[in-house]
Amino acid sequence: MKNWKELVVLLIGIVMVVLVKKGEAAIGVNWGTLSQHRLSATTVVDLLKQNKISKVKLFDADPEVLNGLRGTHIQVMVGIPNEFLSIISSSIPAADSWVHHNLSAYVSTNPSVDIRYVAVGNEPFLSSYSGQFQSYVVPALLNLQQSLVKSNLASTVKLVVPCNADAYESSLPSQGAFRSDLTQIITQLVSFLNSNAAPFVVNIYPFLSLYGNSDFPQDYAFFAGTNHPVIDGPNVYYNAFDGNYDTLVAALSRIGYAQMPIVIGEVGWPTDGAIGANLTAARAFNQGLINHVLSNKGTPLRPGVPPLDIYLFGLLDEDSKSTLPGNFERHWGIFSFDGQAKYQLNLALGSGSLKNAKDVSYLPSRWCIANPSKDLSSVSNHFKLACSVADCTTLNYGGSCNGIGVKGNISFAFNSYYQMQKQNVRSCDFDGLGVVTFLDPSVGECRFLVGVTNSTTSSSHGFSGKWMIIWTLIFSGSIVILL
Residue type, 20: V
CB atoms within 10 A of CB 377: 6
Identify whether residues 149 and 190 lie together within a single domain: yes
Identify whether residues 425 and 311 lie together within a single domain: no
Identify whether residues 335 and 434 lie together within a single domain: no
Marked catalytic residue, from 123, 169, 318, 445? 123
> Could you tell me how far CA 263 lies from the centroid of its own chain?
13
Identify whether residues 315 and 374 lie together within a single domain: no
Is the pLDDT at 466 greater than 60? The verdict is no
CA angle 417–420–425, rounded 5-degree value? 70
How many domains would you assign to the chain? 2
Q: What is the mean pLDDT of the chain?
A: 91
Quick one: pLDDT band at residue 25, thresholds 50, 70, 90? confident
Is the pLDDT at 1 greater than 60? The verdict is no
| 123 flagged as catalytic | yes
Domain-located, residue 479? no
Q: What is the DSSP string of 4-59?
A: HHHHHHHHHHHHHHHHHHTT--EEEEEE----TTEEPHHHHHHHHHHTT--EEEES
Is the pLDDT at 35 greater than 90? The verdict is yes
pLDDT digit string, tens, across residues 213-231: 989 999 999 999 999 999 9
Quick one: pLDDT band at residue 17, thresholds 50, 70, 90? very low
| 266 flagged as catalytic | yes
> How far is the CA of 347 from the CAs of 24, 27, 60, 110, 279, in angstroms?
14, 7, 25, 30, 16
Domain-located, residue 478? no
Domain-located, residue 262? yes
| Host domain of residue 412 | 367-451
pLDDT digit string, tens, across residues 175-189: 999 999 999 999 999
> Could you tell me how far CA 344 lies from the centroid of its own chain?
21
Quick one: pLDDT band at residue 474, thresholds 50, 70, 90? very low
CB atoms within 10 A of CB 153: 18
Identify whether residues 396 and 293 lie together within a single domain: no
Q: Report yes or no: 47 and 343 within 8 Å, Cβ to Cβ.
A: no
Identify whether residues 445 and 464 lie together within a single domain: no
Domain-located, residue 412? yes
Identify whether residues 400 and 438 lie together within a single domain: yes
Distance CA 45, CA 398 (A): 32
CATH of the domain at 222: 3.20.20.80
pLDDT for 16:
44
> How far is the CA of 335 from the CAs of 133, 266, 355, 411, 440, in angstroms?
32, 16, 10, 24, 21
pLDDT digit string, tens, across residues 314-326: 999 999 999 999 9
pLDDT digit string, tens, across residues 78-109: 999 999 999 999 999 999 999 999 999 999 99
Is the pLDDT at 237 greater than 60? The verdict is yes
Specify the DSSP class assigned to residue 132. T
pLDDT for 23:
44
Identify whether residues 237 and 176 lie together within a single domain: yes
Whether cis (ω within 30° of 0) applies to the bond prior to 314 is: yes
pLDDT for 314:
97
| Mean pLDDT for the stretch of residues 129-150 | 98
Distance CA 78, CA 62 (A): 9
| Mean pLDDT for the stretch of residues 264-290 | 98
b vs e for 83-110, b when ≥16 Cβ sit within 10 Å of the residue's Cβ? ebbbbbbbbbbbbbbbbbbbbbbbbeee
Identify whether residues 73 and 118 lie together within a single domain: yes
Identify whether residues 275 and 353 lie together within a single domain: yes
pLDDT digit string, tens, across residues 52-84: 999 999 999 999 999 999 999 999 999 999 999
pLDDT digit string, tens, across residues 239-260: 999 999 999 999 999 999 999 9
Domain-located, residue 483? no
Q: Which of 232, 265, 228, 269 is nearest to 247 (CA)?
A: 232
Domain-located, residue 481? no
| Mean pLDDT for the stretch of residues 310-315 | 98
Q: Which of 83, 85, 95, 120 is nearest to 476 (CA)?
A: 95
Marked catalytic residue, from 64, 83, 169, 266? 266
Identify whether residues 132 and 254 lie together within a single domain: yes
Domain-located, residue 22? yes
> Could you tell me how far CA 393 lies from the centroid of its own chain?
19
pLDDT digit string, tens, across residues 392-440: 999 999 999 999 999 999 999 999 999 999 999 999 999 999 999 999 9
pLDDT for 351:
86
Identify whether residues 148 and 41 lie together within a single domain: yes
Domain-located, residue 374? yes
| Mean pLDDT for the stretch of residues 295-322 | 97
